[in-house]
Amino acid sequence: MSRFSEPQHPVFQRLNASVDFDWRLAPYDLAQSRAHAAMLAACGVITEAERDELHRGLEEVGTELDEGRFDFLPDDEDVHMAVERRVTELVGAVGGKLHTARSRNDQVATDMALFVRAHGARTHDALWGAMRALVELAERHLDWPMPGYTHLQRAQPVYLSHHLLAYFWMLERDAVRFARVVDAADRLPLGAGALAGVNFATDRQMVARELGFGAVAENSIDAVSNRDFVLDYLSAAATCATHLSRLGAEIVLFSSEEFGFCRVADAWASGSSIMPQKSNPDAAELLRAKAPRVAGHLVALHGVLHGLPLTYNKDLQEDKEHLFDAVDTLDLCLAAAQGMLETISFDQERLAAAASDEFLAATDVADLLVRRGIPFREAHGVVAGLVRRALDRGVTLSELSRDELAAESPALDEEFYEVLVGGRWLESKVSEGGTALERVREQLDRARKALGEE
């Protein structure tokens, strides 16, 4: 019997009910209920026979869910109520004992923590897949020169492998972040009750062990108020999605006729409803487009928590859809990134042609002067003069005459022309982490090691 004299308004029910989305928590709700019942029995709050009945009911609900036979009813406000209602139908009045020494407040916080732990680990694995695809792609294109850009202007040539591995290290940092998300959800909320703890000497450590938590939440008020681990997942997801947006945007760019560097496989491209010649890199565009969605979820949850009084407020129900959509979006994006990378093809000639632009060696010419004792800042000025001359005359740097060189600096001699011979500019970048082939090979070793050992 409720203390309310009126039924809920249908509009309120639509606003209030969460079962349309929180059904996804069902497996976690079952796992925690199983552990909770086991603990209640171990502590003597319920009998072993009652525990067995509850376990039987929970198992049957699990089977119904797995087999798609579980019916959510109109009056099931949320997944917790639906599960308890069904358990009670299956095992009778003892089902009403499941909620002993537990509140929906600590229950939902525990479900969310379990969900974040499971999905943090899954996202971590999905990153592994994309990272492997990058390493393999880099190995297949180890010594293909391409222009490196700054400000989207050709700057210095690099190997395609080196460029691809830049994304590897971004995703590697993401993987570290998701490992920490799993840690962040490692304190068990269950046992906090509504907010103050419960009236029974329960054994939270036992539940924690059973459910794989490393510790119990130290403060019952914090335990039911805390959604930091959801923020942590969303933040890691937003950074990862931003990385993928850069990858997607570069694939779109490199797929343009003007760049012509790569081509997304047909299995990852779309045609046009009106222009039969088009092959559009839709998957890459969507990688780009999804990042703001995830960042939007992050900022929204910060908004929900902003200024919120402690313990449970209904506002906390707004953590779920943001998290669930971020999880689904990131899963899909990572799978798409991996699939696209596994099948993308590059155009060696177009890349090489773009990389052979002599202006890309300007820094190298300046460094030649530096080796002759000219301060870099001055050498930079000399080469700027050469570039200006070449542009004015419409020639390449190597087409400048000895006299023109001399007019800019007496230190410019024959070696100037040697510096401009193709390929040198890449192999001269010998500093650690640089694009010289030897350095890229070291980097690939480190990448493989990161994948193999983490």
Q: Which residues between 136 and 165 bind a second copy (CB under 8 A)? A: 147-158, 162-163, 165
N- to C-terminal Cα distance for the chain? 55
From the list 4, 67, 69, 453, which residue makes contact with a second copy (rule: CB under 8 A)?
Answer: 4
From the list 129, 380, 395, 407, which residue makes contact with a second copy (rule: CB under 8 A)?
Answer: 380
From the list 61, 295, 327, 344, which residue makes contact with a second copy (rule: CB under 8 A)?
Answer: 295
Residue 100 engages a second copy in binding (rule: CB under 8 A): yes
Integer-rounded Cα Rg, in Å, for the chain is 30
Backbone angles phi, psi at 274, to 5 degrees: -130, -25
From the list 79, 109, 326, 333, which residue makes contact with a second copy (rule: CB under 8 A)?
Answer: 333
Whether 151 sits among the annotated catalytic residues: the reply is yes
Given 151, 273, 306, 431, the catalytic residue? 151
Q: Which residues between 108 and 137 bind a second copy (CB under 8 A)? A: none
Residue 305 engages a second copy in binding (rule: CB under 8 A): yes
Residue 8 engages a second copy in binding (rule: CB under 8 A): yes
Residues facing 159 on adjacent strands? 145
Strands 187-188 and 215-216: parallel
Residue 454 engages a second copy in binding (rule: CB under 8 A): no
Q: Is 225 helix (H, G, I), strand (E, B) or coil?
A: helix
Q: Which residues between 180 and 199 bind a second copy (CB under 8 A)? A: 180, 184, 191-199
From the list 309, 394, 410, 452, which residue makes contact with a second copy (rule: CB under 8 A)?
Answer: 309
Number of residues that bind a second copy (CB under 8 A): 195
Q: Which residues between 205 and 224 bind a second copy (CB under 8 A)? A: 205, 216-224
Name which of 5 and 69 has its Cβ closer to a second copy: 5
| Non-local CB neighbours of 174 within 8 Å, separated by 6+ positions | 127, 236, 239, 240, 243
Residue 68 engages a second copy in binding (rule: CB under 8 A): no
Helices (H), 344-361: 348-355
Residue 333 CA to its chain's centroid (Å): 9
From the list 62, 210, 381, 407, which residue makes contact with a second copy (rule: CB under 8 A)?
Answer: 381
Strands 153-159 and 187-188: unpaired
Q: Which residues between 28 and 67 bind a second copy (CB under 8 A)? A: 45
How many whole angstroms separate alpha carbon 323 and alpha carbon 294?
Answer: 9
Largest CA distance in the chain: 101
Pick the stretch among 4-12, 25-33, 61-69, 118-126 that binds a second copy (CB under 8 A).
Answer: 4-12
361 in Cβ contact with 419 (< 8 Å)? yes
Backbone angles phi, psi at 275, to 5 degrees: -110, 100
For the packed helices 104-140 and 79-91, what is the interaxial angle rounded to 10 degrees? 110
Residues facing 345 on adjacent strands? 263
From the list 186, 318, 347, 404, which residue makes contact with a second copy (rule: CB under 8 A)?
Answer: 318
Given 9, 256, 272, 302, the catalytic residue? 272
383 in Cβ contact with 358 (< 8 Å)? no
Q: 251-290 mask for a second copy (x: CB under 8 A)?
A: -xx-xxxxxx----xxxxxxxxxxxxxxxxxxx-xx-xxx
For the packed helices 228-255 and 160-184, what is the interaxial angle rounded to 10 degrees? 170
Q: Which residues between 335 and 354 bind a second copy (CB under 8 A)? A: 335-336, 339, 354
CB of 435 to a second copy, least distance (A): 4
Closest by CA position to 229, among listed 328, 327, 333: 327
From the list 306, 394, 414, 452, which residue makes contact with a second copy (rule: CB under 8 A)?
Answer: 306
Q: 388-427 mask for a second copy (x: CB under 8 A)?
A: x--x----------------------------------x-
Name which of 19 and 69 has its Cβ closer to a second copy: 19
How many whole angstroms separate alpha carbon 378 and alpha carbon 397?
Answer: 19
296 in Cβ contact with 290 (< 8 Å)? no
Active site positions, annotated: 151, 272
